[in-house]
Amino acid sequence: MQLLLGIVLFSWFLHSVLFLPFIRLLYQLRLQRLAQVTRDAFNKRTPLFDKFHRHKAGTPVGGGLLIIAVTTALFPIVLLLMYYFWIPITAVYPMASEVKILLFTFISFGLLGLLDDVKKTFGWVKNGFFGLRLRHKLLFEIVLASIIGFWLMNDLKISIFNIPHMGVLYLGWWYIPFAAFVIIAFANAFNITDGLDGLSSGVLLISLFAFWFLSASILDTVLSTFIALWIGGVLAFLYFNVLPSRLFLGDVGALSFGATFAVVGLILGKTPALVIIGGIFVIEVASSLIQLVSRSLTGKKVFAAAPLHLWLQVKGWQESKIVMRAWIAAIVLALFGLWLALLS
């Protein structure tokens, strides 16, 4: 554990040093949030969102790109150094396969998000869902998530769903669509949650500490090392992302982090705990889905605005109040998820 804490601190320090020149680079590349004229999945304007976030126009977008790049570079280097200096490396699964799945998820969903960020920023596509058409974006996500689901089942031999106090459900080949659904759901849930300064990154940081504890408890050095590096990057990013934000994750970070968060939960074999530990993301996406379904079937809205954090803003809550209380809720959910995971 002492070594892993050192890895977190090293990752935090390196990311912190790199973020300042990276922010300057984003300004030079003009990767900045445009004046707030956003559209929902129906290609309709979102005036309420624009009203509350218009002042954030011009803020650099793409903070997730640096975390992905640095963590991806450090991960194999740290593992090789541990091997070279005879530091014990324990793994529940074949190490090469676990590294492959983690990095593929981290990078592939990041690249998909980066494409969306670039298209939105430079206006390459003037319609569709935030740059990419919804159906095209979803198709890419299904392909990537299905590949990951296949590797989880074929390479890591994960094909069960463990329900605490109820037993183990063997899914067989059905595990692939199940895993793909979980990955896609969390990728989009994180993206939806990433709407207030410090909201998604703060909740993610809290949730990752819970997963870090679980990975250490099963002595999975590979997963623990990856999470440690990731925590250091998110911690450094959060310094620049709290209100008023100097840097946004962008879709490059949101899609990557949401999908990888789901994969970590699947590797740990704690899907029920994943849903609880990531409960803020689940609540946010659920509020959006309820709103979308209601508008599609009845033409009426259940909430004045969706997702939940935007509805709270409409109710008069200050942005900082929403974020701080979401962090508190995330801590409680993380503790409850840990308790549930340790029962099984």
Could you report the per-residue pLDDT of 220-255, keeping only the tens digit for each? 999 999 999 999 999 999 999 999 999 999 999 999
Report the candidate in 84, 37, 79 with the shortest Cα–Cα distance to residue 57: 37
- The answer, as to whether pTM is greater than 0.85, is yes
Report the amino acid identity of residue 265.
Answer: G
pLDDT of residue 129: 44
Three-state SS for 195?
A: coil
Q: What is the mean pLDDT of the chain?
A: 90
Rounded Cα distance between 211 and 271, Å, is 12
pLDDT band at 302 (very low <50, low <70, confident <90, very high): confident
- Could you tell me which residue, 224 or 32, shows the higher pLDDT? 224
pLDDT of residue 32: 84
- Segment 115-146, tens digit of pLDDT: 988 887 776 554 444 445 677 889 999 999 99
Q: Which of 14-18, 20-24, 127-131, 188-192 has the lowest mean pLDDT?
A: 127-131
- Tokens for 81, please give them: 């150094």
Confidence (pLDDT) at 119: 83
Q: Taken in order 181, 186, 189, 195, is the CA torsion positive or negative? A: negative
Q: What band does 188 get if pLDDT is binned at 50, 70 and 90?
A: very high
How far, in Å, CA of 83 to CA of 217, rounded? 21
From 131-135, 259-263, 293-297, 327-331, the region with the lowest mean pLDDT: 131-135
3-class state of residue 158 by DSSP: coil
Q: What is the structure's pLDDT at 130?
A: 45
Q: Are 138 and 172 in contact (CB under 8 A)?
A: no
Q: Give the largest Cα separation in the chain, rounded.
A: 64
Residue type, 38: T
Instruction: Give the span between the Cα atoms of 34 and 235, in whole angstroms.
Output: 26
Q: Please give the average per-residue pLDDT across 191-203, as a whole number.
A: 95
Q: Are 75 and 104 in contact (CB under 8 A)?
A: no
Q: What distance in Å separates the CA atoms of residue 4 and residue 158, rounded to the nearest whole number?
A: 26
Does residue 52 surpass a pLDDT of 90? no
Cβ atoms within 10 Å of 263's Cβ, excluding its own: 28
Ranges of H-type helices in 159-198 = 175-193
pLDDT at 127: 47
| Among 72-81, 205-214, 286-295, the least confident range | 286-295
Other beta carbons within 10 angstroms of residue 176's beta carbon come to 21
Place of tokens 């929403």: 322
Pairwise CA distance, residues 323 & 192, whole Å: 14
Q: How far apart are CA 256 and CA 304, in angstroms?
A: 30
pLDDT at 295 over 60: yes
Our CA dihedral for 14, 18, 20, 22, rounded to 10 degrees, sits at -150
Between the alpha carbon of residue 72 and those of residues 79, 102, 176, 225, 231, the distances in Å are 12, 9, 25, 12, 13
pLDDT of residue 41: 44
User: Which residues are bridge partners to 32 per DSSP?
Assistant: 60
Q: What is the pLDDT of residue 38?
A: 58
Residue boundaries of the structural domains of the chain: 2-343
Higher pLDDT, 213 or 57: 213
Residue with tokens 């935090």: 12
